[in-house]
Amino acid sequence: MSEKHTPGPWHTDESTGLIPVFILPNGTDDTRFAVGRAEFQNYHPDGIEAAKAECRANARLIASAPRLKSDNETLLYALEWLVREIKSNDGYGMKGALAAAEGAIAKAKA
């Protein structure tokens, strides 16, 4: 199956201190190849600096998406093994955790 998104890892370019913050594939700083960008709204209850800080935090969260997806796939593999070992005795709620992980990964792949 081919990926539907630009392969990670991604990083943010916060070097200029300007907004928007671009989310770029590793290996490039050219904004023409950005996979996304985070901007801020002019209104923020805590002022413009808080809005800019939130924008930068959002960009870092978006840039971490490929790694989060990969880490969740690893976790899913471990949970699948654990559920097989537990079999029908699910006193630890692993089947629910497994279903949640599967749903999150499916959503990321959609």
Q: Kindly state whether residues 31 and 48 are assigned to the same domain.
A: yes
Write down the pTM of the prediction: 0.67
Residue 24's alpha-carbon distances to 27, 50, 67, in angstroms, are 8, 23, 14
Tell me the mean pLDDT in the region 83-91.
Answer: 66
Sequence-ordered list of residues with C-beta below 8 angstroms from that of 57, at least 6 positions apart, any chain: none
Q: Kindly state whether residues 34 and 57 are assigned to the same domain.
A: yes
Q: Kindly state whether residues 51 and 77 are assigned to the same domain.
A: no
Please identify, among 29, 47, 63, the residue that sits at the C-terminal boundary of a domain: 63
Q: Kindly state whether residues 54 and 86 are assigned to the same domain.
A: no
Tell me the mean pLDDT in the region 13-26.
Answer: 75
More confident residue, 30 or 89: 30
Judged by DSSP in three states, 58 sits in: helix
pLDDT reported for residue 87: 65
Domains in the chain, number = 2
**pLDDT at 58 exceeding the cut of 80:** yes
**Residue whose structure tokens are 């998104």:** 5
Closest to 72 in 3D by CA, of 92, 94, 102: 102
Q: Kindly state whether residues 21 and 45 are assigned to the same domain.
A: yes
Q: Is residue 3 part of a domain?
A: no
pLDDT band at 18 (very low <50, low <70, confident <90, very high): low
**pLDDT at 88 exceeding the cut of 70:** no
Print the domain residue range for 44. Answer: 10-63
User: What's the half-sphere exposure (Cβ side, CA atoms, 13 Å) at 1?
Assistant: 5
